[in-house]
Amino acid sequence: MTGKALTMLGAAVVTVSAVSATSGAITTDPTGLVDGPTATLVEARSRLDKGASQTWKTALITSGNTLQDTGGNTTPPNNPWVSGAGAEFTFTYDNTNGLATLLVNWGPVVEMAQATILPGAGNSLVGFRFEARSNLDAVSSLEDLGIKINGSSETLPISSIAANGSPVFVQSDNFYFTDAFSLTFFEVTGVARFTWADGVTIQGDNLRVATRLLQGVAIPTPGSVALAGLAGVAMLRRRR
């Protein structure tokens, strides 16, 4: 989301694009895909704090706001964020070993946070969503979002999300994988952008954007059940 919606500083409004498209790999309807509620697996976070405290510019966070890894803490004026300037990011999750990696590129500076984060017992990676929040004189946004699944060359576009003067988190829809059992690799790319008025002191955790992976109890699809059955038959034949 770009243009006028990202320059209305001081307007206490929330702006978030509607998501209506459903691809064959993801959907916003969890019916038949997830049994029960979901919980956070990991949050890939970019944050701006121009106050006196240290800040995590790039971080991987799990439930309970537990820091798993950060690209480094800095104190002003060394923060690389520039008002209105976007930073390209890539967030990947290897579903075979739990390795999560967040890269944020400011041009001359690239920061990385990386950690192995596995779902809880009985849970699987089942979906994701995007989040943003800001203060009354700033805008936080995630733009040009796209995902790739299982190393596909196809990028699935996702609507941008922006918090315009909203200290309360703005959230996208939850997106669910239509076959969580066949998911091996997940990638998100996009641009993170913070825009604030001249002279504004941004302190505390006021400007933040994030990709949040969701875990839950996945319901096997007919295709995954059939594959599991074929694998079992093959094992029995080998034993014979």
pLDDT one-digit tens code per residue, 177-203? 999 999 999 999 999 999 988 777 666
Given a contact cutoff of 8 angstroms between Cβ atoms, the answer to whether 105 and 88 are in contact is yes
Q: Is the pLDDT of residue 156 over 60?
A: yes
Q: Is 136 exposed, middle or buried (0-12, 13-18, 19+ CB in 10 A)?
A: middle
pLDDT grade for 217, boundaries at 50, 70 and 90:
very high
Element (H, E) at 222: helix 222-239
Domain boundaries, the chain: 3-239
The reported pLDDT for the residue numbered 180 is: 95
Task: Please give the average per-residue pLDDT across 55-81, as a whole number.
Answer: 79
Task: Please give the average per-residue pLDDT across 133-159, as a whole number.
Answer: 92
State the CATH architecture for 3-239. Answer: Sandwich (2.60)
Q: Is the pLDDT of residue 123 over 70?
A: yes
Angle at CA of residue 12, ends 6 and 13, nearest 5°: 60
pLDDT grade for 128, boundaries at 50, 70 and 90:
very high
pLDDT grade for 235, boundaries at 50, 70 and 90:
very low
The reported pLDDT for the residue numbered 16 is: 45
| 6 vs 51: CA distance, rounded Å | 22
3-class DSSP assignment, residue 227: helix
pLDDT grade for 65, boundaries at 50, 70 and 90:
confident
Reduced DSSP (H G I as helix, E B as strand, rest coil) percent helix, strand, coil of the chain, to 5? 10, 50, 40
Given a contact cutoff of 8 angstroms between Cβ atoms, the answer to whether 175 and 33 are in contact is no
Q: What's the whole-number average pLDDT of the chain?
A: 82
Task: Please give the average per-residue pLDDT across 200-209, as a whole number.
Answer: 76
Q: Tokens 């990991």, residue?
A: 42
pLDDT grade for 226, boundaries at 50, 70 and 90:
very low
Given a contact cutoff of 8 angstroms between Cβ atoms, the answer to whether 190 and 92 are in contact is no
Q: Is the pLDDT of residue 230 over 60?
A: no
Q: Is 127 exposed, middle or buried (0-12, 13-18, 19+ CB in 10 A)?
A: buried
Task: Please give the average per-residue pLDDT across 81-91, as a whole number.
Answer: 92
Task: Please give the average per-residue pLDDT across 153-170, as a whole number.
Answer: 91
